[in-house]
Amino acid sequence: EDQVTQSPEALRLQEGESSSLNCSYTVSGLRGLFWYRQDPGKGPEFLFTLYSAGEEKEKERLKATLTKKESFLHITAPKPEDSATYLCAVVVRGGGNKLTFGTGTQLKVEL
C-alpha cells in the first residue's frame, strides 16, 4: 500500500529561523510528488510538483527537493505569514490521477 509520512507533525520557528519539513514515501512507482499549503478554513493551495530524484523547485522563501525516498521543503528565513499546514502528496504509476496525502506539518512562525 502506498504510504506518505510527514514529519514533524508540528514545528514552531522564530522569524528568520530556517528549517526543513520532511515527506517520506513508500510507493510502487512515483509519478509525481506535490507540495500544498493549507491555511485554516481554506482549501489546499498548490506550491510545487517534483517528478524525478534530484529535482528542485523554488518559490520565494520555499525550496522543495526530491530524492528516491523522500522530499524536503526548506524554508529560508521564514516570516509569520508562512505559518500554515504544509501537505505532501504523491501520484503513483497506474494510479490514475489519484493523490495520496500525508497528514501534514503544522508550521507556526513567531515574531
Partner 1 sequence: DAGVIQSPRHEVTEMGQEVTLRCKPISGHDYLFWYRQTMMRGLELLIYFNNNVPIDDSGMPEDRFSAKMPNASFSTLKIQPSEPRDSAVYFCASSFDSQETQYFGPGTRLLVL
Q: CB nearer to partner 1: give 71 or 78.
A: 71
Per CB under 8 A, which of residues 37..96 are in contact with partner 1?
41-46, 49, 87, 89, 91, 96
Written as nine digits, the cell of 24 is 517520506
Please answer whether residues 101 and 13 qualify as being in contact, where contact means their C-beta atoms are separated by less than 8 angstroms: no
Q: CB nearer to partner 1: give 34 or 72.
A: 34
Return the closest-CA partner of residue 36 out of 62, 17, 15. Answer: 62
Decide: helix, strand or coil at residue 99. Answer: coil
Distance in Å, CB of 97 to partner 1, minimum: 6
Please answer whether residues 85 and 105 qualify as being in contact, where contact means their C-beta atoms are separated by less than 8 angstroms: yes
- Interaction mask 8-37, partner 1, x per CB under 8 A: -----------------------xx-x-x-
In this chain, which of 27, 86, 102, 105 binds partner 1, going by CB under 8 A? 102
Q: Is 97 exposed, middle or buried (0-12, 13-18, 19+ CB in 10 A)?
A: exposed
Q: Which residues bind partner 1 (CB under 8 A)?
A: 31-32, 34, 36, 41-46, 49, 87, 89, 91, 96-104
